[in-house]
Structure 1
Amino acid sequence: MIKFTVNGEAHSVEGDGTLPLLWYLRDIAGMTGTKYGCGAGLCGACTVHLDGEAVRSCVTSVAAAEGKAVTTIEGLAENADHPVQQAWAKHQVPQCGYCQPGQIMQAAALLAKTPSPDTDAIDGAMAGNLCRCGTYPRIKAAILDLAEPAS
Structure 2
Amino acid sequence: MILMFGSVIDPVNSGKERKGSWEECVMECLKTWNCALVSKSSNGCIIYFMNEIKSFKKNDGGDDILAFKSDFETCLIGNPPLFGNISSSIIETNGMDFYRTEITESSENILNFNFTIHKCTKDIPKDYVSLMGYCTLYI
Structures share a fold, TM > 0.5? no
> Which has the higher Rg, Structure 1 or Structure 2?
1
Q: Normalising by structure 2, report the TM-score.
A: 0.29
Q: Normalising by structure 1, report the TM-score.
A: 0.28
Structure that is richer in helix per residue: 1
Structure that is richer in strand per residue: 2
Greater RCO (Cα-Cα under 8 Å, separation 6 or more) = 2
